[in-house]
Amino acid sequence: MRVLISGASGLIGQALRPVLIAAGHEPVALVRRAAQANEVEWDPSRPLDPAKLAGCDAIVHLAGKNIAGYWTKKFKQEARDSRVRGTQTLAEAAAESFRRTGQPGVFLSASAIGYYGNRGDEVLTEESAAGAGYLADVSQEWEAAAAAAREAGLRVVNLRIGVVLAGNGGALKPMLLPFKLGLGGRIGSGKQYWSWIALDDVVGAILFALQDDRLKGPVNLTAPEPASNEQFVRALGEGLHRPTIFPLPAWVVSTLMGEMGDAALLGSARVMPAKLQAAGYTFRYPTLETALRAALHSKN
């Protein structure tokens, strides 16, 4: 299978490429500079020539501006545009290519569990309604932007990705220094749910979704045991053999990080991977302790 990947230089994209190769597939990276071997040049803000997708069996669309930062009006617009416009560009080119050649037949597009908004301890599956707030609004537009591919007949999967645990990036990286110094602790009440997933399982689930025709529409990429922030903090402290006695009050998070802190750190989403489990995907790291242990001992 020849798989076109946007965001190939990001955390997930870099992990995905060698796994695809090991499985006998050929990854092709979308890049914003002059293309080299196994690359295709594109500009997400401009139409993409469908002929550039010739010979591609599937697309994995991961590109999008990182939401970590202070959410000014400009920042939020840029983050939204990077997701919506890029997805529309790629979906429209894929749709036209499919009409002409029958390829690519699969379009996997990143989304986020931010779709569900702040929902307390409510158990959420792919059947749950969208939430409210900036992240929920952007996620809905992000998923809707793939409509052209779906309407043309491609199998479209919206990957609602949770908090990714990796040793070389993702949500864990900025937490490590304070925790290693013994300055870690719960954030706010600690009762909010963080629906996490190990990087290896993000990649494993993507490979699974590429090959399993039963998966379509929204698919939650989260582990089967979401944890409260308090549970997460305790497990991380134990993994690092450090105390976790310095709580970070909610008002400090709101003051220092603004809307982003309220949504990403204090918001709660108890998300279950119902579709993946029903389809038979086996998680490599189903528990928080095993996932953190693997991330903390990663050499990457």
- pLDDT tens digit string along 201-252? 999 999 999 999 999 999 999 999 999 999 999 999 999 999 999 999 999 9
**Which residues of the chain carry a pLDDT beneath 70?**
299-300
pLDDT of residue 106: 98
**Is the Cα torsion angle 253, 254, 255, 257 positive or negative in sign?**
positive
pLDDT at 69: 86
Backbone angles phi, psi at 109, to 5 degrees: -125, 130
The whole-number pLDDT of residue 209 equals: 98
Domains, the chain, in order of start with CATH, read 2-295 (3.40.50.720)
Q: What is the pLDDT of residue 168?
A: 84
Residue 32 is predicted with a pLDDT of 94
d(CA 257, CA 240): 26
At 298 the pLDDT is 75
pTM over 0.85: yes
pLDDT of residue 300: 46
Percent of the chain with pLDDT over 90: 92
